[in-house]
Amino acid sequence: MNKKDADYYLNNIGLAYYEMENYNEALNYLNQALKKNPHNYHAYVNLALVYKELGNLDKAIAILTSEVLAKQPHMVSAMVNLANIYQFQA
């Protein structure tokens, strides 16, 4: 694995575990991705998805608002997922 791209691959592995509903492994890999690159906003969005599935909506919202949209206000995937969480809460 190229060290430069490690966060990209770790994020994708985390996303694969999310898709398989193995949320603990997804958290593990997504957190590793963020340790390698704290500016990997896609990993933050995926992390928020995991927390949503685990029922921790407040944490998912905090990640999307504080870690993503505060720094990347035009990131559509973060906006869409935030809207989905708010709709889920209603």
Tens of pLDDT along 18-61?
999 999 999 999 999 999 999 999 999 999 999 999 999 999 99
Please tell me the predicted confidence (pLDDT) of residue 1.
61
- pTM, two decimals, is 0.94
Cα separation, 49 vs 45, in Å, equals: 6
Instruction: Yes or no: say if 89 and 77 are a contact pair by the CB < 8 Å rule.
Output: no
Q: Cα separation of 65 and 15, whole Å?
A: 20
Pair of tokens at residue 2: 């190229």
Q: Class of 3-89 per CATH?
A: mainly alpha
Q: Helix, strand, or coil here: 39?
A: coil
Map out the domains of the chain as residue ranges: 3-89
The pLDDT of residue 8 = 96
CA distance 22 to 16: 9
Mean pLDDT value of segment 52-72: 97
Q: What 3-state DSSP class applies to 72?
A: coil
